[in-house]
């Protein structure tokens, strides 16, 4: 049994234009909002305000959120790019600030914490450099987690590896696609080498085709080239992120499945008892927001400074607000019970 993605859940890629590919997934940037003509700015301020009513600030709602969490276990899931680090031009020069790293380390002392990213697991581990968090790379297709009883259908995707806290399990449901992924990367590099600024990123079980540094008039050429390469690889899907096209094996596995998998392996699958808190900024994070919504308990939080279609219940403006939120979260836990008690509850000894 595999994880074949149903055709209906495949995402369609619209032609790339500035409008559907800016930082905020197609909405006006904050600068456009503040510098546009009065009527436009009034309209967009009004739409921002009404969006904020539907997705209130997680900082403003913090006390209310934590009141509901008092008797529950919180598990924290964090996306990387655009959440723990700001979006920058060069995808290889994305660094997490020391302050952010310290805040995540502190949160992970009190709550089981995982980073879920579209990057390769190794790369995101290299950026985050923390050993008290779990990592899921390649949009959740590469998870390093504690071992758990394996369901028969999943057995073939597991590899037992020695870890710092004993054995850990690598869960990699897209392993069989690795040779094809390498072929696609080669073809994409060849086909796009003449497009100035285009960049192919190997994310191990998926591929990113970046166009942040491509001239706008070349966007559609790049998109056509990527689509043409993929015509020979029907088992792969193309979707859009922030000035990036993401190519993934078409299996039924995304960040939402990764969140469920991690909750399960951490013994936190009971929705009545556990509140998953997921902070993310991109379209692929919506799969995790959807899972949390489906559980009926938990906090899906979107990072966005402009209104956008989302399943998240709360919002944070940018990574600096994420930092403030994480600091408040660990401070809240520290003040509500002693760390020693919590370490005993979670069986963690940091």
Ligand X SMILES: O=P(O)(O)OC[C@H]1O[C@H](O[C@H]2O[C@H](CO)[C@@H](O)[C@H](O)[C@H]2O)[C@H](O)[C@@H](O)[C@@H]1O
Is 208 a binder of ligand X (CB under 6 A)? yes
Closest CA to 81 of 19, 137, 39, 9: 137
- Of 180-188, 241-249, 293-301, 334-342, which part binds ligand X (CB under 6 A)? 241-249
Query: What are the percentages of helix, strand and coil residues in the chain, rounded to 5?
Result: 45, 20, 35
**Cα torsion for 77, 129, 347, 270, to the nearest 10°?**
10
Site for ligand X in 187-206 (CB under 6 A): 201, 203
Check binding of 242 to ligand X (CB under 6 A). Answer: yes
Of 122, 82, 129, nearest in space to 108 by CA:
129
Is residue 240 at the binding interface for ligand X, with CB under 6 A as the rule? no
**Site membership for ligand X, residue 138 (CB under 6 A):** no
Comparing CB distances to ligand X, the nearer of 69 and 94 is: 94
Single residue of 246, 254, 260, 287 touching ligand X by CB under 6 A: 246
Q: Are 188 and 181 in contact (CB under 8 A)?
A: no
Q: Is 114 in the site for ligand X (CB under 6 A)?
A: no
Q: Does 91 bind ligand X (CB under 6 A)?
A: yes
Rule CB under 6 A: say whether 143 interacts with ligand X: no
Stretch that binds ligand X, among 35-43, 111-119, 145-153, 322-330 (CB under 6 A): 111-119
Q: Rule CB under 6 A: is residue 212 a binding residue for ligand X? A: yes
Rounded to the nearest 10 degrees, what angle do helices 98-110 and 339-346 cross at?
Answer: 70
Q: Residue 302 is inside which H or E element, if any?
A: strand 299-303
Element (H, E) at 249: strand 244-249
User: Which spans of this chain sit near ligand X (rule: CB under 6 A)?
Assistant: 79-82, 87-89, 91, 94, 117-119, 201, 203, 208, 210, 212, 241-244, 246, 282, 284
């Amino acid at each position: 049994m595999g994880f074949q993605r149903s055709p209906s859940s495949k995402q369609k890629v619209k032609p790339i234009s500035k409008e559907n590919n800016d930082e905020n997934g197609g909405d006006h940037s904050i600068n456009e909002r503040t510098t546009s003509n009065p009527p436009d700015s009034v309209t967009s301020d009004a739409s921002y305000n009404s969006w904020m009513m539907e997705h209130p600030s997680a900082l403003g709602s913090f006390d209310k959120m934590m009141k509901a969490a008092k008797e529950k276990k919180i598990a924290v899931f964090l996306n990387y790019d655009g959440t723990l680090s700001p979006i920058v031009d060069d995808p290889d020069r994305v660094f997490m600030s020391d302050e952010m790293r310290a805040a995540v380390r502190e949160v992970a002392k009190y709550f089981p914490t995982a980073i879920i990213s579209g990057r390769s697991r190794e790369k995101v581990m290299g950026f985050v450099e923390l050993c008290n968090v779990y990592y899921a790379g390649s949009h959740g297709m590469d998870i390093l987690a504690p071992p758990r009883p394996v369901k028969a259908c999943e057995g073939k995707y597991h590899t037992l590896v020695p870890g710092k806290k004993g054995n850990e399990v690598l869960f990699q449901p897209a392993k069989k696609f690795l040779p094809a992924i390498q072929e696609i990367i080669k073809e994409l590099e060849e086909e796009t080498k003449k497009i100035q600024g285009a960049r192919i990123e190997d994310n191990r079980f998926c591929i990113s085709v970046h166009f942040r540094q491509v001239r706008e008039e070349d966007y559609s050429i790049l998109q056509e080239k990527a689509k043409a390469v993929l015509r020979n690889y029907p088992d792969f899907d193309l979707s859009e992120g922030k000035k990036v096209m993401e190519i993934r094996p078409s299996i039924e596995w995304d960040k939402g499945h990764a969140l469920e998998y991690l909750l399960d392996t951490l013994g936190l699958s009971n929705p009545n008892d556990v509140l998953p808190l997921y902070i993310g900024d991109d379209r692929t994070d919506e799969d995790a927001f959807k899972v949390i919504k489906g559980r009926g308990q938990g906090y899906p939080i979107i990072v966005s400074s402009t209104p956008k279609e989302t399943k998240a219940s709360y919002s944070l403006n940018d990574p600096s607000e994420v930092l403030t939120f994480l600091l408040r979260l660990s401070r809240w836990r520290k003040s509500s019970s002693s760390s020693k008690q919590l370490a005993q509850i979670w069986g963690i000894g940091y």
